[in-house]
Copies of this chain bind each other. A is one copy, B any other.
Amino acid sequence: MREKAVVLLSGGLDSTTCCAVAVNEGYEVYALTFSYGQRHAVEVKQAEKVAAFFSINHHSIIDVQATVFSGSALSGLSGKDVPKGRDVDIPAEIPETYVPARNILFLSYALAYCEKLGARTIFIGVNAVDYSGYPDCRPEFIDLFRKMADVGTKTGIEKGFDIRTPLIDLSKADIIRLGIGLGVDYSITHSCYDPDENGRPCGTCDSCSIRKKGFIDAGITDPTMYGS
């Protein structure tokens, strides 16, 4: 029987590549996607396409009550604008698009799901190189989260959790090269924080800018409408 792993899958470029790593390593993947009133709700649909692309049989969409998150510019409820056209080479302060405790909450659901499944492995596509400056994407956070889980859960005490972050030290270009090597079709991924009503990316938010630069650096053409 294959070992089970819970994979956090947003439908973006990073989580899709991370999912490809888990599939490639032979895990039986249990994908978790979160709906939290985000502006980019198109993500959830993309996540379903990604799960289908990898023939993942277990994909749960979890509805997190949006009111908890409504302080972030990524929430449609916030009234704040998503910043556009910034220089993404210079990591600034924690940006407006920071979502309160997002990865903590998502990883907490993953812990609970692991315990239910009898699994101990979680994949999360966080990246601390070409990223938006979020505190919950850094290695020191992931390390402390695992330590906390190993003390605070039955699975952690008995077996220890393995929180896999295969992208954490990679540049965006390296992530894209890794995914292409694993056969990822990036045309089904979505990165924009502020797509239009048809799900088309804005091309100028931090996430679009980082994605564009990554494809250029990798010398690969983005198969989506990004950059056009």
Contacts and interface: CB of A to CB of B under 8 A. Distances in A.
A24 interface: no
Contacts of A65: 60, 62-63
5 contacts: A69-B116, A100-B153, A100-B155, A101-B153, A141-B152
A140 B116 CA distance: 24
The winner among A71, A112, A155, A157 for most chain B CB atoms within 10 A is A112
A218 interface: no
3 closest Cβ pairs, A-B complex: A100-B115, A101-B112, A141-B152
Interface string A110-148: 011111100000000000000000011010110011011
What bracket does the count of chain A residues touching chain B fall in?
35 or more
A206 B98 CA distance: 42
Interface in A60-108: 60, 62-63, 65, 67-71, 94, 98, 100-105, 108
A208 to B, nearest CB: 23
A49 interface: no
B141 A154 contact: no
Contact of A111 (B60, B104, B151, B156): B104
Given A63-B65, A108-B101, A108-B108, A135 B152 contact: yes
